[in-house]
Each structure stands twice: as C-alpha cells, then as structure tokens.
Structure 1
C-alpha cells in the first residue's frame, strides 16, 4: 500500500515498479519490437471512469519517454465497443479500468488465460472505494485474479486514510502479513487553509440558504489567482453558484465552467482539457474533480459549505498545488456561521492527524450473489473451490457455510419463495459444476453488472440533438412543458419528453426550479464531531483561537448570556415555549444521521412514559422535539431517556423501520439481480422498479421471512442510515456527561437553526426566507435591548 498526501507523485511512484521490472528482464533494447508489444502485465483500477482518460495520459508519458514496446489502453463504460471487442481478442500490456469493467471482463472465459498472466494490479484511490460495495466488488475480483495467479502483486494507492492497516488488510485479503508492506510519504503536504469571513456575521444562523451573498467576496478572491476549483457539496449548488458567479462577472463568460457527474462526457472532457491547459479561471464542481486528475495550473481551491470531514477537506485542498513540494491552498466559504466552527475543528483534526477511518462492510450477500453469477458465466465453478476463493476476500473472511449455501440456492433456484419461477433460475448445475448457459441471463447480467444504484435517469438534449447530460427521472417527471430550469450552466426550458429524453431549448428570465440529484448525504464525521465539541468548550472558557472562532465571538457571547455553551463532557438542553407549542432542544453535536435516530428514540421513550405526541427536526449539531403539551424533561432523564438499553430493538420500534428497510431493499434487489433497470434505450421507470422491489420485499416477508437479503436490508438501515454503532457510543458518552437544562426566554443562537428546520415542514422556501429574516430582526432587537 502506497499512502501519501495528494500531489506527492504517487501515480508515477507505483507505476515505475512494473516498468523497472520489465526493463530488468529485457535489458537489450535491440530486441524491443514495437510491432510485437509485451503481453498483458498490468491492470490499473480507477474508481471513476472519468479519471481513466487522465490516468492513461499520465501513465503513457514514461512509456513514450523510454520508448517501451508496451501498449496502453482503457476499458470503462465510456469506451467504444470496437475497443472492447479488440481487447477481448488481446489485452494491452497495461489496461486502465474500473471495478465494474473488471467484473465484466471476468464473465468472458476466453480472457481468463490472459488475466492469469497479469503480474501486477494497481488499485488507485483505494480510500474512495474502501467501505463501499464497489470496494467489496473489487475485493472479490482481486480474489479471483489471485486464484488465477497466486504470485500476483497488488498495489493500493491512497491518501487521507485514518485506518491504514485495516485498509491495507482489506485490499490484500489473506496475503501473509510478511508479504504485505505499507509505504508512507515521509513529507507532509504543505496546506494553507483560510476562511472567507462574512462582512456581517449573523448571530442567529440557519442552514439551507446557500450563502450566495458571499459571491462578491469569492469573485474578488478568484481575480487574484490564475486558476481555481470551486467545490460545492451538491450538483444543484454547482448550477446555482456558476450562475451567480457569471452574473457577478459577466466578462468571465467562457473563462469559467461547470463540472459534475450528470453532464455529458464531452462537456466534462472539454472542461478538464481547458483546466489542464490553464485556460479557465475557475471551474465550479462537485466531487467529480475530487480525485486523481492532475491540474497543475490550479493554485486555489474554494470549498462552499462544510465538507463534514477533515479527510475530505484535505483531499480537496490537494487539488491545488498538485505537484511535489508545492503548497496546497484552500479557502472556505461558510453557508452559515456555525460552519466556521466546523472549519476550525477540521484544522485541529488535520493538525493532530485525526483523519476519518472508513467504516468496513461485512459479508453483503447481494454483492456476493452478483459475483457468483459473474464467475458462473465466466467458465463456471465448483462450490468448494469458489467458497475457498471468496473467503480470501477480507469482507467474506467469516462467511458461514449456511450463508454460502443460501447464496448458491438463491442464484440456482431463486430461494425458497421464487423456486416456481424459471426467470430466477440463473445458474445451472451440471456434474457438480455451476455455470450459466442461458443467453438472456448472460446478457441481462452483463448489462446490469455493478453496485452503483441510482434513480433512473434520462438524457437532457437540445431540440437539435446536442446532449447536455442526464437528469433523474424523478425530477423530470415533475416538470411541465414550458418550465425553466438550470442545467449544465444554462437556463433551459422543457419542450417535451420523448423516448427517454427530455428535449429543451434555451430560455431567458428566471428558473422555476433547479434539478435535485439524489446523492449520499454527507454526515458530520465522528472525528470532526469530537473536535467541534472541543472548540465549543474552548469558547465556553473564553478562548477564541483563530480567525474563525474570533469572528464568532458575538454569537458565542450571546449564547452564553441567554443560555450556556456546553463543555465536551456536558449535554446542553434548552426548553422554550412559543405560540407553536413546547420545544426541547438538545445539542449532542454528533451529526445529522445519528441525531435522526436519537430524536426518534427519545420521542419514543418519552411517549411511553406519558401519552404525548412529538414532531422533530435535526441538523448536524442538535435535535428539536416539539409537542403541544409540556415536555417533562426531568422525569424522562430520571427514567433513563439517554440510557443505551436495548438500543437495536427500540430503534426498530421508534422508527418506520419496515419502510426504511423496504427502501434499502430496492438497492439490494438491484445488486443481487432480482430486478433489472432494462436494456439501453428501454430503461424501466423508477416507479416500475420500486413497485417490483416492494413486491419482492412483501413476498419474502410473508413466505420467506428467513431470506438473508431481508436481514441484510435491516442491518444496512441500522448501520448506514442510522449509524447505530455510533449512536450507541454517543449515548454512552451522554450517560456519563453532566446534563444542563436551561429555559431561556428567547430562541438562542444555537437553537435558531433547528427552529428554522422545523418551520420548513409547512412554509415554502421563499416564504421561509422572508419569515426567517423577520425572526432574525426581532431576535437582534431583543438582543440589543437586553445588552
């Protein structure tokens, strides 16, 4: 495992190993024959197909400089079919590919002899795959390649990892420890983090307004640099920020661009090429430019809103100064005042080397079922041999015999409840060998291979045919012809939807809406939560260290005056009565996902003590419970409302766990091969897929309750959606903390954002902004009169 900061030369460092080995074996240059290039030797796995082209260019440079008779190519979902057909006959000396394309290659039996000759596999950006089903798909593919060639060398390339030994173990599988090495960069990357402080700091901040009032300050900063990346946390934010920057500086038209994963590949490549050549002043982007791509012209990164983790902040900072010994520079733009504390906390975590550990998934049977069908198509297998191979993958090292037999039964017969339906008899057994011979099954599997599950998408095209990118079907289905929306940095108007495409024309005026793409929520990491609590404790002691904390001094002082600032070993609670009812605010500072589970748990426990209805809202910092009747906090604390207790059972009782499990099951059913999105050009609608997965869920619950995919969906809800392990640790911390219960006369700076989140339920966004502005003005007047 090669672990070093972004921009320190990892790519060339690991790439030169296979090159030097070949040079040692072939020292006589007179025998090098470009017409007879070296056979397949190296497989380079990249997590994003968008990176494949850039990676290929980086790897080609030393081959050309040394004049090596190597061929280098890439194979991803973007590759032309002619190139894929050529590779099926003969693999290049080095191939750049993705986890999905590698799994697809394993379904072609005629490629196995060439794959068995591979000497080295390099997995780039391993930290991006670790702890995901794509990472486990990679682990299984590596176990297959090691089975084909036990002497295979595997390299992982990674940065910003908090659990390096475990990450290395996951990549290396059951490789003996004496054959595993971790190589770490000896130099820390020089990183300069700074904040753009609002000219007027709000003492009553709220989240959800995107902070575009900071656009003039951002534009001024961009004028001082040659080239910059402006990172936003969502694709919708990129569209909005791009428009606001262009409005602020119309002369920058053609000099600034937008980049995110839903844009057409040709658009993305144009942006990347222009950025690489230093011809763009700024690119507003999402995590689509987080990884690997080498833009040496970039001398500044701007982060809009909290990245929610120190490792992600460091990763993005490294996109600037992307060369050894160069300084990386990142400017942080808060979308509300509280986020400045998060930046200060992130700086503490980075300085202390407390980067986030990537959580590890254990034995997801949907991924295993897909892999089993993959191997059955690619030549077949015997049960004992494949079980032994699968157990060499770290995620399946403790796979039980019962689980393995269940997976085999599932792919052969469809499990107990689907045995009567031939469509689910995908794998056949002939003389003890499992294989797939049905052409339709093979085609369906190859088209739908992979673990990336997203809403069905459709192309967005101009009427004359040029493709702008893709939008999710759930968004387009809510539009009417004539509706205007921002897309690919343009204002467009929907004309019609036909043949799985949304046809648009250019528009003028204001947008009616902005596309919302589904994506993983970004919860506050546990490491950042801990650092955040320490920073607030320092403020409670009157210590304001750094520009961020100093700028927030008026907010902290007002919070202290009206209520209090909790230390890291305290839990602050605030009871406030308003016209809308009784509110209880709690501030664990544990992140939104943990707070969602906590809020439901606390409300459930209180309602068992005394019949009472609650509504709730959460953010990364706290929880608000609202009830029309008085909330008896002291009684609840005495009864153990914060105790760990039988946490798993109570979480499942307190939330609509069946509906949550049903939603999670949709993803599992797709990966396991129960449902198929359909053939290219004839994709099934999101509602059709949802209905199909819901039907399977209900059938399994009624007729096959021991179905292991049901249990997996419940487990994933607990661990991934509710972070139950982290919630358990948080409750343990709260149980041993000092509880502070205050009853301020007004909403405090910390509780204001939660109150706004509660208002969202019944107020439109425009009305909400006006309402919030009036509330802020009233509270500021109250603060000034009391001062």
Structure 2
C-alpha cells in the first residue's frame, strides 16, 4: 500500500468524525511513515494525540495488507506519559483509531494503577499498543527476557516531553531509550512538547546529541493561532500597602461572579493548602455551590480525582478548585473559563492553564487573573505581554545524574544482566552522560558490586555479582525485590494515608504535618473537617469532626514556588514601564501605590537598583530589590549578610519574597561603606555562597534524595514505610562517611553540585549580580516602610502571629504609615 492510499484511510477516518486534519498532523504522518524520528511542538487541545497514533496504525496496515483478517501479535508501539491520569484518555484515542479501522490492534495500560492480574495477563500476551510511565518502563526493563518483548516495537512516543525535561524522570527516560535503540534498532522515537524556550535542545536530549536518530530527525511545529484572553480582576479598592497574607480570599465574591456566569470554571491555586482554603471559603460564603463545586489536587485519593475529572466532562459540576494536578492533558471540552489565583510564577504554566479553557482546535481560551495582593497585578500585566509575544521558559536538562545511572545499572542486572562495554557506549550516547569518562563508569560499577571504596566492608551494598563471562547480574531474590519496590526518581517527604475509622480512603498527607498533631486535634483535608484518632503504620485514622470545631488547614512542604528567569525579566520590564506613559490597565490601577512609593522612595527604572533603609520598633531594616524570585533572593540575602559581616561584626535576620529581600538587625548598617566596598561584585560568588549558607547542611539534605534513588538506603515495604527522620539519619551517616573517607565519591560530589545548580540557581544568581553591577545603585533612607517593602516585612510577621491577629496588626500599621 503506498502513502497516498494510507493517507486516504487517515483522512477518511477524520471525515467520518466530522473533522479535517491540520497541516501539522499530515506533516507528522508523512515524516513518521518515512521512518523519521522527531519532536512535535503543539499546544494543548490541538489534536496532537491523533498526529502520532494514526501513523502508528497506518504503519501496521502498510506492513500487513491483510490486517483485517490476520492479526500479527507483538508490541508495535509504546506511549510514555508523565501522568498516570492521562493514560485512560490516550487509550481511548488509540482504541477509536484501531477499532474504527478494523485493525484488531489491542491497547493496554501499564502504570502504578494497573492491577496485578492485568500485569500478569500482559506478561503472557503483550498489548499491541502500550501506554505507560517512565517508572513502569523501568520496571519492564527489570523483567526477565525484556529484549524479546521490545524487539518488535516500531515506535516510542514520549508525551509532554517538556514536563520530563529538566527532571530526573527525564534522565530515566533517556537511559531507557538508549537501551531500546539497541534492542529494537528500527524503532522510531518521537516526542510531543508544548512550547518551551529551548525546543532544539529538547530534541537533542530526546534523541541523543550524536545519535543516528538525530541525523534522521525532524521538528514539526503546529502553527495554530489560539487566541488567549487574559482578564485581570481589579479590586474596587487598591491596597496602598499590599501584603500577601490573605491568599486572595478578599476576591472571593469576584470568583463567585465568574462561576455563576459560566457553565464550567477551573480555579487554579499554586499550592494544595491554598486549594483547600479556597474550596472551604467558597462553600462557607456561597452554600448554594454545595454539590456543584469540587476540589482536585495530587493528595486526594485517585477514585475521588477520577470522579471529579469525569464529572467535569459530563458537566455535572459548575466549578473545580484545583492545583497543577489539572494542568496537563485531561480533555475537558466543556470548560468555559479558567481562573488563576495569584501569580503562576512562570509563563509556560500560565499558558498551560489558560489552554484548559476552550480545549478544542479553533476555540478561544479565557483566563481570569485574581491577584492575591496589589503588586501581583504587575505580574498579570507581564503575563498578558508574554502571551502576546510567546515568551516561554527554557527547561534545563540534568547532566551527570550518577544516582539515576546507578539505579539503572542495577535494573539491568536484576533482569537479564549486562556486559559493561556495551552499556557504556549506550549510556555515553545520552545527553545526560555525554561527558562521562571510563573512570566515572567504573566508579558506578564498583559501587553496585562493592558498595564503593568506603562501604565495601558491608555486604548489604554488594548487590550485583560479576559472573565468569564478565556479565553483571543480581542473583539474590531479596535484592531484586527491594530494588523493584524502590525504583523511580520522585523522592518526597514520607506520605501517610488518611482513612476513616469505619473504612474509606481519603487521600495522603505528609508525615511532617501529622507529626505536629495529637489525637483529638481537628484539621481540614479534602474539603472535610476531620478529627485525628490515632496514627499507626503510616496510616492516619480519622472521623468526621463536629461542624463547630476549630480546625487548622492541612499544609504541605515545598508550597512556595519562585519566579522563573523569564518571568522575572518580564516583571522588571513591566515595573520599569510604570515610569513611562505607556502603562497597561493593571499598572494604571496601581497609581495610588506608585504615588505613595514615589513619595517615600522611587520606582526604579532599567538603569537603577534600589536599596531602602528605615527603622521600626523591630530594628534597622535594609531592603534590596533585584526582582529575581525568592530562591535567588534567599541565596543573595545570605551572601550579602556574609559580606557585610566581614566589614563589621553584625547579625541579621533575613526575609525575602519574589521582589526583594530584607536584612534586619538591631544595629544600623553603614550603607555607604557597603557601597564603597563593591559588595555586589560577581567575583568570588561560589566561595561566598559556600561560607554564607550552610552549604554542607543543604547538600546533606539533598543527599537523602540521591541516597534513595541510588539504593543506598531502603524506604521500606508496603505498610511498613521507613519514617523520613530515619531515612534522613541513615543517609546523613553515609554522607559523613563519604565526606571523611571518600571525598571523591561521585554521589557525594553530586549532592553539592545539585545544591548549587538546581536549588540555589547559582548561574542565575551570577547573572543577577552582573546586572546589578552595571546599574546605578540608588540608596533611599526613608522614614518609614514603603509600599514595595511592606509585603516583605509582613511576611516575617506571619511566622509569629495567627492570621486574625496579623490582619489586625497590618490594619494598624497601614493606618500609621498613611499619616
């Protein structure tokens, strides 16, 4: 069958559904059928699933002209998705094509949610088209005779590649691909990605920087002009002294208006805690929403989440308060409006969320921006410009993730074993390990066979045996079982299951939150007020609390996100525009705030870097405004405090947000001395970071994750999970052994490297200092706090005061400063 006939089948199928293929879909079909690899760049809701499922099916038809009567068994294609929640829909799309064209192709799902009986069925009879996750893919590589399963595979498609890029799950995927290229040499590799800044590099990471796959590759872009309407909800009364303590709840009536005025609405919060608060606040103020309003976040039970997703599709719900758990892929045709509560901190995340509304080719998307405090309206203005100019973030890929490589080598040893020379060349062909030398690889081999130089006295680290013919193999069933149970690269705080005494699973919550409670305490979780009965075996037993009981909201670690580099740059440009005549609607609404800021200080322009100093009853405040995001400010505050302490013995307490940072002391800083000594120099940054932050403590914490991924510590069996504090102490002990006896250990060095590169964003910090160095430094000694400084100083108060007394205190402060 020639390509023309195959295309007739495809376009005929589209027409039978009342559709017409987009140019990018036909381009992808052509490239795929020509045997090319590639990356498809297409927005959410544009039909990218059919761009790649259809050619997989057409390829099968081409190779089997009597496909309607004779079924050829064996795996034909693998579809990897980063989210299990998407697998059902991807399966439905594949089945539509396969069944309508009468191919007899079977479609299966293999994820953490797949039952044991279904998995054993798949062992005896593998589906033709398999949908899986990076973790489940690794588990398949850990099964005996995996090469026989994969050898017939003609294509592997990695969905949402931008989500995996820049994570260790992405590295895991790179390693799996390096093996499959050898096992199934005719396999085509395709990635699907939303728009990111470094698309070309994304393709290089996917296919391998020097591979044949890259030589025979193509990048296809879907040029679909999707209109996104960004509407900022501007409050009637603008805070002149803004603070971020109220989670945006003062705009609850505005949100209710949007919900009432549309068929379906998604309200996106940045954190699970904010999601719980908003859901409760909406129901308390608008009890008529009961039954029409639901909540969706990653810690709620899977059954509840799936019910919510289906209820939106069936238009049984008016609104869902959610987190990034609904960012990706779930096909919600009826969602009319999206509400973003607070700054999303990144352009890509905002575009992804906007795309959830009008999730159909050719439809407009509507997204409302509710600023949780006044200065976030500058972010709203910046986001609208980003949408118009399509400014999107890069995703920075990981390099030399030795912990993932160690895990991968044990995986291969658990299944059929491996010969080092062959695997070295495959691994070196990946983007992550392109700089690996033979000594690095030898370290990893020694590590899995002897437990590295300093641990060789302990048998538990000798996992892999070297057989007579040089093959590396795990022969112990116990080691193989423990390895399979701990595979993966997502390491979080230990989570505990929340269950009703009488039965019924609600979801999971982090150990650190529950550890603060005692039996009888009440907390709000999954939209219910619960009383803690007892904690046993990592299970939290609860019952419904009385409606009048005072309860605290559940909260999670890692709730605070930081501005991306692109978002920071856009924010600064918008802020500088406040000094011009070309102000947007959002900036004009902030006129009272800017007027007050200029009265006390200045609104800086592109050539200025602002420092403010003032005294309150708390002490002497020095506030610096780089507008670079809280992670950069956290590191920069420590570096500045350290450099100042070298000039004068002085101690500081530090506070920071996305706009700036504060050094608070009981004695005044000699700011002129600071400026004269060139304290913003980018020179010696790395050394100063190591001295100022407790870099060893940060690296020690980072090492816990590395130790878990590399299998140095065991996280426990189902129902008998090892507590976080025990994991931490075990990994700390190993960290100290490496520090004292084996400082060249690659995993030990990796902990420091990841701390500086990923946690402290050292590269971005260096660029920020270089920019400040070029600007004119404007120091304003003010008599009282300014509107810009107010969110930073009130943020620190929140640690000491409850939300009610904080609100009262802020009212009094605002009244005093307005005089």
TM bin, normalised by shorter chain, reads: over 0.9
Alignment of 1:150-549 (within 5 A): 150-173=185-208, 174-176=210-212, 177-430=214-467, 431-507=469-545, 508-519=547-558, 521-545=560-584, 547-549=585-587
Structure 1 runs (4+) deviating above 4 angstroms are none
Q: 1:56 is matched with which residue?
A: 91
Give 3-state SS (helix, strand or coil) of 1:372's partner: helix
CA contact (8 A) 2:197 2:395 kept: yes
- Asked if structure 2 preserves the Cα contact closer than 8 Å seen for 1:88 and 1:111, the reply is no
Q: CA deviation at 1:511?
A: 4.3
> What are the equivalent positions in structure 2 for 1:538-577 lying under 5 Å apart?
538-545=577-584, 547-577=585-615
Q: By how many angstroms is 1:349 displaced?
A: 2.1
| Alignment of structure 1 residues 715-730 onto 2, 5 Å | 715-730=753-768
Alpha-carbon displacement from aligned partner over 1:245-268 (angstroms, at most 9, x marks no partner):
112221221211111111111111
- Counterpart Cα distance in 2 of 1:114 and 1:499: 38
Find the partner of 2:628 among 570, 573, 590: 590
Helix, strand or coil: the match of 1:394? coil
Deviation string 1:570-619 (CA, Å, 9 cap, x unpaired) is 10111112222211111000011111110000111111011111111110
Give the match's secondary structure for 1:194: strand
Which segments of 5 or more consecutive residues in structure 1 lack a partner in the other structure?
783-787
Q: Distance in 1 between matches of 2:48 and 2:474?
A: 41
The alignment covers a number of residue pairs equal to: 777
In 2, Cα distance between equivalents of 1:282 and 1:571: 43
Matches within 5 A, 1:660-679: 660-679=698-717
Moved more, 496-505 or 329-338: 496-505
CA distance in 2, matches of 1:487, 1:758: 26
Alignment of 1:695-734 (within 5 A): 695-734=733-772
Q: How far is the alpha carbon of 1:198 from its aligned partner?
A: 1.7
Q: Secondary structure of the residue that 2:455 maps to in structure 1?
A: coil
Distance 1:152 1:534 in 2: 46
Deviation at 1:509, TM superposition (A): 2.1
Please give the TM-score of this superposition, normalised by the length of structure 2.
0.93
State the match for 2:160 in structure 1.
Answer: 125
Please list the CA deviations of residues 444-478 of structure 1 after superposition, one character each: whole Å capped at 9, or x if unmatched: 01001000001111111111110011111111122
Relative to structure 1, the CA distance from residue 687 to residue 587 in structure 2 (aligned partners, 3 Å threshold; closer, same or farther) is: same
**2:689 matches 1:651:** yes
Q: Please give the per-residue CA displacement for 1:172-218, whole angstroms capped at 9, x wherever unaligned.
A: 11333431111001122211111111221111111232111211110
The answer to whether 1:746 aligns with 2:784 is yes
Deviation at 1:510, TM superposition (A): 4.6
Q: In structure 2, what is the Cα distance between the partners aligned to 1:60 and 1:774?
A: 63
CA RMSD across the alignment: 1.4
1:290-322 Cα deviation digits (max 9, x unpaired): 111101011111111110011110011001111
State the Cα deviation string for residues 714-773 of structure 1 (Å, max 9, x = none): 111111111100000000001011111111222110011111123344434443232122
Cα offset, 1:38, TM superposition: 3.7
Summarize deviations over 1:621-649 as a string: whole Å, max 9, x none.
Answer: 00111121121122112212000111111
1:66 deviation in Å?
Answer: 1.9
Contact 2:271 2:559 (8 Å CA) reproduced: no
**What do the CA deviations read for 1:515-554 (whole angstroms, capped 9, x no partner)?**
1222364210111111111111110224421x21121111
Map of 2:679 onto structure 1: 641
Q: Is contact 2:153-2:184 (8 Å) kept? A: yes
Partner residue, 2:18: none
Q: Contact 1:295–1:319 at 8 Å: present in 2 too?
A: yes
Q: Secondary structure at the match of 2:44?
A: coil
What CA distance in whole angstroms lies between the structure 2 residues aligned with 1:237 and 1:37? 52
- Quote the Cα distance in structure 2 between the aligned partners of 1:456 and 1:399: 33
> Is the contact between residue 366 and residue 668 of structure 1 (CA under 8 Å) also seen in structure 2?
yes
Give the Å deviation of 1:65: 2.0
Aligned position for 1:785:
none
SS at match of 1:31: coil
The answer as to whether partners of 1:55 and 1:293 remain within 8 angstroms in 2 is no
For 1:99 and 1:536, locate their aligned partners in 2 and report how far apart those are by CA, in whole Å. 42
Instruction: Provide closer, same or farther for how the CA distance between residues 556 and 384 of structure 1 changes in structure 2, counting only shifts above 3 A.
Output: same
- Equivalent of 1:735, from 769, 773, 784? 773
Give the Å deviation of 1:378: 1.8
Contact (CA 8 Å) 2:654, 2:664: kept in 1 or not?
A: yes
Structure 2 CA distance for partners of 1:702 and 1:89, relative to 1, 3 Å: same
